[in-house]
Structure 1
Amino acid sequence: MLEEARPLLENAENALKTIQPAAIATVRKLAKPPFLVMQIMDCVLILFQKKLDPTVWDAEKQFFKPSWGESLKMLNASGFLQNLMNYDRDSINEETVDLLAPYINYPKYNRAEAMRSSGDVAGLLLWTIAMSDFYWINRKVLPLKAALIIKERKLGEATASLNEAQKKLDEKQAELDVVQAMYDKAMGEKKILMDDAALCRRKMSSANTLISMLGGERVRWTAQSKEYLAQIERLVGDVLICTAFLSYSGPFNQEYRMNLRKVWEHDMDQRKMPYTDELNVTSMMIDEATVSIPSNFSRVTSAFACADLG
């Protein structure tokens, strides 16, 4: 879907590059600009969510009278072209596109007419059309972006936990190395200092006890570290399953959802993409604290909600 949007964005940016500051200055000075130029500026006002004049029908043009006064305010503002280049495309909503529709569907709202009326700002017309077309693709992408942000946050938390565990493991390993060095030194001195044998034996006993304790912890931390690494290796596959589930499984019943999931997992197996067997989508999307909200009826509600997710 991102690939579908890229040509639209490139066309929009190229269209804006054709507009020169001198062209904007020329339009700004027009005492009576062409009707199409005023329509184009109405579309710019709509995209930037600026105020429009009350709707008045122009019987001659068979269209609404433009809000040229408001358009002049925008044209006279500093950085007009830069604001177009930096426009937040994700802010476009369906209401904005609905407001643009009458303009874009107007028979003369096209590049050829714009070039004839005022070629200097024809690129601005193409930009408004591109922004409208971009919305229909982008609205499919936005939920995926939101899901990606959530997964990236979880990945960051998992990585932080892994780093903390690794730090503790390194600290204990350093302590173990120190104790091991003490033990080795004591063993070396035992052959030379027979008079201190009793003292050395006490040190050895203490050192052995500490080494045994730290050795057990090392096994646990090593296992925990490996598990975190395994989770990271499977994370892309797990996120893919969850993203596909959110995007496509909503309208279907449990049986069809399971069939879809088997198809996805089979495809990932063929691509040798690691993922968690029998992944619990519910636990990936909702933490246990949220599921276990204490109230008289929330357990039933949460149970049905989780069953619907899973």
Structure 2
Amino acid sequence: DPANKPASNYWEPAKKYLLSDPKLLQNLIDYDKDNIDPKVIAKAREYTDNPDFDPLKIKKASRAAHGMCCWVGAMVQYDKVAKVVAPKRLALAEAQKEYQGVMRRLREKQSELETVENRVVGLAQQLEQCRERKKDLEDQVAECQTKLDRAERLISGLSEEKERWTEQKTAARSALSNVVGNVLVCSAAVAYLGAFTVTYRREIMLSWIQLTVSHNIPCCKSDEISLVQTLGAPVEIRKWKIQGLPIDDFSVENA
């Protein structure tokens, strides 16, 4: 003892009970170094802090004691380091736990993102289909509008034709109702008035018209009846015009 105090000598009992134990080496290997009692560490430090607790010095005295000295020193040093490392281990465990939690949430979010992206792709496809459908409908509307415009122009044109057809229908109906009297008067004019002038023909035809009406035979008015329109052939009259013949009413009636 550096203070010249008497120290307990445990070496002899140690050799007797420890070194003779065949399981000593295995016990040292399996020693629970992570849970050493602080009192034991404090007691061991009283020796390891002693400058004379030097493995090289002890080796000169006893090789067995040298081994035990190294082991005790290693345990004390391990405990010292463990007390520094332990909080770091706890921090590491917490960090790993937090990391695993973050990674789990990350995977969940990635899964949600994938779902959303797939939905976006589906919606994009639907949007493209809707755009194509919209374009098709716009083309159909444009085509229908074109047809509608054509139909309106056709209806407008037919409306004008309708008025003309209505007038022609009225005239044809009137002519049909008076056809008997008209043909009678015109036939008589062809048979009897060929040698007379236009003026005399009109006077005679007027008297025949009045006579026809007096006998309740339908007939046109005197200013409406025409020998050319009643008995004439339009195609034949046109041929005469092409051939240079006169086409006034008197000449045509004579022809």
Fold shared per TM-score above 0.5: no
Whichever of the two has the greater Rg, that structure is 2
Larger RCO, structures 1/2 (Cα 8 Å, 6+ apart): 1
TM-score for both structures, normalised by structure 2: 0.40
